[in-house]
Chains A and B, each alone.
Chain A
Amino acid sequence: MPWRAPYLCLALLVLGACQRDAPRQRVRISSSGASAGAPLLVPPGSQDTGFVGTTSAVHRPRPGLPPRILRAVDARASPGYDRITFEFTGDSLPGYHVQYTSGPVRRCGSGDPVAAAGAGRLLVRLEPAQAHDERGNATLAERDRTLGLPAVKELKLVCDLEGQVEWVLGVATSGPYRVSELSGPARLVLDVRHGQ
């Protein structure tokens, strides 16, 4: 199918086999824990397996900025929690809104309901943000991903429209999570605790 060609090319890009001048678009969705060679996004010392976290909404608006480009999403298990890292181009993060939802999750374009594995659904809305470049090319190849991590079972991009990127995380249980911000490059880190 011709429309699969972009994905193929993106995959090739990852392997460094595409045209030399092409953008380096990183796709770092990993389902394994400590895969050899994968860059650690934060120093091991910053990991805290005993964090309390929250199950309430975490809201950090940042209106008035130009959209941030989401260029990589990394998912991996750590001792005690699963870590989802959203990495952006540049030095600043978009605003975000993280919240468990019990209502239906819909794709923001079609309005179609989206199912997610697990007993809980955690929404992560990034705004203003986009997961495509200004020429209409996706900056993330994998937009729906079955992870099978202890806490986070599935990761689906349900919106990338009008300056809003929204993910739904299918989680085993609606357990505590925490959100933190890292710089160089700008990353939003979401840790979802294992178990209750």
Chain B
Amino acid sequence: MISARSKPRLRITVAAAVLIAVVAACREAPVEPCPAARLAVDRVPLAASSSPFDPAFAAAGAEFHVPPAVLQGIGWVETRWQMVEGAEEFSGRPPAFGVMALRGVALERGAALAGVTVAAARRDPVANIRAAAALLDAYAAEAAIDRSRSEHWSVVVARYSGIELPEGRAAYGREVDRALALGGARTAPAGTRAPAPGACPPPPGSGGAPDYAPAVWRASPNFNQRPADSTGAMHIVIIHTCESNYTSCWSWLVNLASQASAHYVVNEDGSEASQLVLERDRAWHIAALYDCTLNRRHDCWLNGVQSNHFTVGVEHAGFASQDSFPASQMEASAALVCDVTRDRGIPRDWQHIVAHGQLQPADRTDPGPHWPWIAYVHRVQALCGEVVVDDSAAFNDPALAAAAAPGAWTASDSTPDYYGGGYRWAPTQPDATDGAAFSFRLSAAGSRTLDVRWTSGTNRSSRAAYATITAAGDTLAVARQDQTTGGGRWHTLGTWTFPAGWNRVVLLQRDVSGAVVVADALRVRE
């Protein structure tokens, strides 16, 4: 566990680099995949194991007695091995230059030590790397480290990073040790230790988060207790975008000064997630009081309740304005949200997995118009072993789910607590032949439990008939349900073994006149 009180600067970027390097390294090795590679299913390595600047790293390292792996690691952490030129002024610090992101007086000192001009140290890659190496050489000399011991370099690189606080440096140093081990594995510089062949070092601060083991636990001080009454029961997952990168996002949210937090943060490519606040505690991620008119009139009893009370907040590295979200990030997020909803009994639909901007439209838009809401919730459902068939095609995955309601069935959304965007209803008739059919496709035969939903009212049928029919045309059962009550919840029809193909449940319209049957949704779960 990393202390929330530390002040990370390069720590997590190192962490990300290490993680990526671990993944990349292990993809090259004909051995078991790393345990780190467990969040996203379609992750791709972001970095090659060698950089275009390797010759310069090697030469400068030899010249200034600095392990090239150290230079490589810093270069990756700072700039992803790209030449930057007075790039973004994000931190109020002097602008960074070159592969090594040298800044201000450090750049000037490094240039002087390397015997190059400041201008060259800014814009020429070799001069930039030499200046950085010379600076590290000086730091190493001043710290009187044993240069042959890779772990001793952490104190030098920590100084290079500019972290002020001792505890921040210490935490950073631990990550640097791992980076050095990996760097050693790649380049095997003389005097540095390589890890054991085939070893997969654990990712930094790896796993073991209290409520979601694949996540990294980075405790935030910014939380308090949920109310003990019903308003404190976890009920909704709120999807956010950080409006920043992953590092900036979580490191700010663990800073007491932010007075903000989220339960989780998912990184850009889904290769890492952080848990910052226990799910049972109240994280600070949404200002708004709940207003059910913003959420299809769902759970209006919560109107006026502060939304942090009953929500789980999931931040995502990125921006509400971005055109798309990486598939691997969506996959990791969906896996996380599946876990949260399963553990907390939160329904997996669009009224319980909602946008920050939806509940706080006055001043928020995140995660923005391009969050893939339909596919995302479908993926959360699938990872939790369920498929839902809605009465509306707009909410169905056409490869797995289809609904057919004949013309006698009227679309409506006037009674709240429906699944998807509404429901269909029809008056019962003794001679009706058409029912509302909810079909689901199985790729292989198997056992499934079926649940149905309706919206309740006094005019509903107390004996709505659901026929379960297999792909082979066999009617397995006709189950009756009382739709006058129990609206907005799943009600189990039964568990059966189904063949592969399109099986279905048909809500029958045929019955004695005088009531209404409501076709909202069918849930199929393993």
A binds B: yes
- Residues of A bordering B, CB below 8 Å: 2-3, 5-6, 9, 13, 18-26, 63-64, 66-67, 69, 71, 89-90, 106-111, 125, 128, 130, 132-139, 143, 159-164
A107 to B288, CA, bound (A): 10
User: Are the C-beta atoms of B92 and A162 separated by less than 8 Å?
Assistant: no
How close is A145's CB to chain B, nearest CB, in angstroms?
14
How close is A9's CB to chain B, nearest CB, in angstroms?
5
- Which of B162, B224, B260 is the one whose CB lies under 8 Å from A22? B162
> What are 10 A-B residue pairs whose CB atoms fall within 8 Å in the complex?
A18-B164, A107-B284, A108-B260, A109-B260, A109-B261, A110-B222, A111-B289, A128-B243, A135-B251, A162-B366
A132 to B259, CA, bound (A): 12
User: Are the C-beta atoms of B247 and A132 separated by less than 8 Å?
Assistant: no
- Which of A21, A69, A108 is the one whose CB lies under 8 Å from B105? A21
CB-CB nearest in chain B for A87: B92
How close is B380's CB to chain A, nearest CB, in angstroms?
22
User: Are the C-beta atoms of B259 and A164 separated by less than 8 Å?
Assistant: no
Pick the most buried of A106, A110, A136, A138: most chain B CB atoms within 10 A of its CB.
Answer: A136
User: Are the C-beta atoms of B245 and A134 separated by less than 8 Å?
Assistant: yes
Binds A, one of B2-10, B49-57, B118-126: B2-10
User: B10 — which chain A residues lie within 8 A by C-beta?
Assistant: 135
- B 382-393 to A, binary, CB cutoff 8 A, 1 in contact else 0: 000000000000
A130 to B260, CA, bound (A): 13
CB-CB nearest in chain B for A91: B89
Residue B515 at the A interface, CB < 8 A? Answer: no
User: Are the C-beta atoms of A23 and B162 separated by less than 8 Å?
Assistant: yes
User: Are the C-beta atoms of B287 and A109 separated by less than 8 Å?
Assistant: yes
User: B257 — which chain A residues lie within 8 A by C-beta?
Assistant: 6, 132, 138, 143, 160
Residue B75 at the A interface, CB < 8 A? Answer: no
User: A138 — which chain B residues lie within 8 A by C-beta?
Assistant: 255, 257-258
Please count how many residues in chain B sit with their CB below 8 Å of the partner chain's CB atoms: 59
CB-CB nearest in chain B for A133: B91
A160 to B308, CA, bound (A): 17
A133 to B258, CA, bound (A): 11
CB-CB nearest in chain A for B283: A109
How close is B332's CB to chain A, nearest CB, in angstroms?
20
Which secondary structure characterizes the binding site on chain A?
loop
User: Are the C-beta atoms of A135 and B321 separated by less than 8 Å?
Assistant: no
Known: A22-B164, A162-B242. A135 touches B92 (CB 8 A): no
A3 to B258, CA, bound (A): 12
Known: A111-B284, A135-B251, A136-B251. A71 touches B260 (CB 8 A): no
CB-CB nearest in chain A for B103: A21
Residue B165 at the A interface, CB < 8 A? Answer: yes
Residue B526 at the A interface, CB < 8 A? Answer: no
A139 to B252, CA, bound (A): 11
- Chain B residues 241-299 with CB under 8 Å of chain A are 241-245, 247-248, 250-261, 284-289
User: Are the C-beta atoms of B321 and A64 separated by less than 8 Å?
Assistant: yes
Residue B378 at the A interface, CB < 8 A? Answer: no
User: Are the C-beta atoms of A110 and B260 separated by less than 8 Å?
Assistant: yes
How close is B93's CB to chain A, nearest CB, in angstroms?
4
A132 to B242, CA, bound (A): 13
User: A109 — which chain B residues lie within 8 A by C-beta?
Assistant: 222, 258-261, 284-285, 287
- Chain B residues 94-127 with CB under 8 Å of chain A are 94, 103-106
A130 to B258, CA, bound (A): 10
Pick the most buried of B165, B241, B250: most chain A CB atoms within 10 A of its CB.
Answer: B165
How close is B438's CB to chain A, nearest CB, in angstroms?
39
Pick the most buried of B8, B164, B248: most chain A CB atoms within 10 A of its CB.
Answer: B164
Which secondary structure characterizes the binding site on chain B?
loop
A52 to B88, CA, bound (A): 38
Residue B167 at the A interface, CB < 8 A? Answer: yes
User: B253 — which chain A residues lie within 8 A by C-beta?
Assistant: 136
User: Are the C-beta atoms of A9 and B165 separated by less than 8 Å?
Assistant: yes
User: Are the C-beta atoms of B321 and A63 separated by less than 8 Å?
Assistant: yes
User: B68 — which chain A residues lie within 8 A by C-beta?
Assistant: none
How close is A51's CB to chain B, nearest CB, in angstroms?
28
- Which of B162, B248, B286 is the one whose CB lies under 8 Å from A136? B248
- Which of B224, B245, B255, B319 is the one whose CB lies under 8 Å from A137? B255
How close is A144's CB to chain B, nearest CB, in angstroms?
10
A107 to B103, CA, bound (A): 35
User: Are the C-beta atoms of B89 and A3 separated by less than 8 Å?
Assistant: no
CB-CB nearest in chain A for B3: A2
User: A26 — which chain B residues lie within 8 A by C-beta?
Assistant: 92
A196 to B493, CA, bound (A): 70
Residue B363 at the A interface, CB < 8 A? Answer: yes
Beyond A133-B91, A135-B247, A136-B258, 15 additional pairs, beta carbon < 8 A:
A6-B255, A21-B159, A22-B162, A23-B94, A108-B260, A111-B306, A134-B90, A134-B244, A134-B245, A135-B9, A137-B9, A161-B258, A162-B240, A162-B366, A164-B364
The 9 A-B pairs with the shortest beta carbon distances in the complex, nearest first, are: A136-B251, A109-B260, A163-B243, A133-B91, A109-B284, A23-B93, A134-B248, A110-B284, A135-B9
User: A66 — which chain B residues lie within 8 A by C-beta?
Assistant: 88
- Chain B residues 212-262 with CB under 8 Å of chain A are 221-222, 224, 240-245, 247-248, 250-261
User: A64 — which chain B residues lie within 8 A by C-beta?
Assistant: 321
User: Are the C-beta atoms of A89 and B162 separated by less than 8 Å?
Assistant: no
User: Are the C-beta atoms of A139 and B285 separated by less than 8 Å?
Assistant: no
Known: A125-B363, A133-B90, A138-B257. A20 touches B105 (CB 8 A): yes
- Chain B residues 340-378 with CB under 8 Å of chain A are 356, 363-364, 366
Known: A136-B7, A136-B8, A137-B7. A90 touches B89 (CB 8 A): yes
How close is B450's CB to chain A, nearest CB, in angstroms?
40
User: B255 — which chain A residues lie within 8 A by C-beta?
Assistant: 6, 132, 136-138
A64 to B368, CA, bound (A): 12
How close is A137's CB to chain B, nearest CB, in angstroms?
6
Pick the most buried of B10, B93, B250: most chain A CB atoms within 10 A of its CB.
Answer: B93
Residue B307 at the A interface, CB < 8 A? Answer: yes
A134 to B481, CA, bound (A): 56
User: B248 — which chain A residues lie within 8 A by C-beta?
Assistant: 132-136
Known: A6-B165, A163-B244. A135 touches B91 (CB 8 A): yes
A109 to B192, CA, bound (A): 46
User: Are the C-beta atoms of B165 and A89 separated by less than 8 Å?
Assistant: no
User: A133 — which chain B residues lie within 8 A by C-beta?
Assistant: 90-93, 248
How close is B434's CB to chain A, nearest CB, in angstroms?
49
User: A139 — which chain B residues lie within 8 A by C-beta?
Assistant: 91-92
User: Are the C-beta atoms of A160 and B258 separated by less than 8 Å?
Assistant: yes
